[in-house]
Structure 1
Amino acid sequence: MAAKRPAYGCRVKLVAESFAWPFRGRRRSTWAAGVLCVLLLPVLFIPLLGYAIAATRAAEQDPSQGPPAWRMSASLLADGFWTALAVLLTLLPFAIAWDPLSSAFFNAGASPTRDPAMSGIYAHVIAFFALALPWGLVALLVLPHATASFAATGKPADLFNLAAAVRGVRRDFATWNVAAAAIVTGWTIGLACAGLLCVGIVPGIFYAILVSAHAAAALHRSGPHPSAG
């Protein structure tokens, strides 16, 4: 039992380091650019996702350093494009199921009102939340390992190798479990607590992205071919 304590301590340390990593380096320009991309997310989501890969790569190479500086380049945009496509592919089955499930809720009378227009809205909202949880579980299962591998190799194929991502989870379930907990908690803090602390949801989302990048990087370092650092 005592032999397991160091490993447990390292995993708890990973969570704490992931929460603190966004504030290392004190690069105000990094946060300013990130907040701007989140604020203009419909237009700048590709650069934002590209930077998320750059942040994951930086945490893989030297986790003692803070988030990297923004360097707009063709490679950053390419990384963002491939990452957006990977996220879209995880969403696609649930997006396809959304309307049929909404119709099922509508026909079942799940809405608290009898007004047809409002009933349709309620049915779509209920279906959205019913599908959000399974999508989140799928995303947590495949995306952290996939993005960590892509950040390390630069090969887009690694983003879409679902079998390799699942094998990575099975190979070191404990590390994935802690990384997933850090990611979920980071997003909870970013979306909920940011408003309570009068920080705002926009910087909260960027904070969650950086926490996720650091946590995902740990999966690469725990793998059979860890990076330096």
Structure 2
Amino acid sequence: MKILLIEDNRELAQSITYYLGEEHYICECAYSYKDALERLSFNSYDCILLDIMLPDGNGLQLLNYIKKEKINSGVLIISAKDALDDKISGLEKGADDYITKPFHLPELHARLRAIYRRKKMDGYNDVKFNEIVLNTDTYEVFIKNNRLEVTQKEFELLLYFLVNKNRVLSKQSIANHLWGDYTDNLANFDFVYQHVKNLRKKIATAGGNDYVETIYGLGYKFNGLKYTDL
């Protein structure tokens, strides 16, 4: 999962980033309204952790921008203990949930997972497509009920394909989603090809169908209509 954390308290932001990193999330930080707006303009995220009080703006204004631009990210508001009006306003503007400071990091993690399940996985922990099953609790992949040995990045890549069926995903968007800020200054994204190639080979060897299409000059598409009864 790729997260954007919008929080001006750098100590808290570092604690959250470290914790989510240990849970295998990609977590990028924005410490101001301006920085957050720039990141939202050029990147996509599964979930956004949104602090209301920012040094140069209000988080609710960012929420308005998210909804206006139809950014399909889950939004978890981080609010002060006595900011009831902000919580209500945020939920009315389309936020998915809120958490009150101070909070325990495992609770934050649980709320993020719940938002992701609702928005991307119809409320389930398993992602299923024909003979392919991904368990997001155990990070396991099954092909025709047989466990497939995959790396962490291969699991995340397959999950990214599945929740974006029938959409063309560029190499850059795949790299940015799976590796975050580390890819910003890269000259090319040829390494994505090798990860896609390895994943397709493993699935084929296990007897699964190859749903991933190479769209030359653009990237890849997981064809959700291929090998189905539709």
TM bin, normalised by shorter chain, reads under 0.3
Q: Which has the higher contact order (CA 8 A, sep 6+)?
A: 1
Name whichever structure is richer in strand by fraction: 2
TM-score, scaled relative to structure 2:
0.25
- Where is the helix percentage greater, Structure 1 or Structure 2? 1
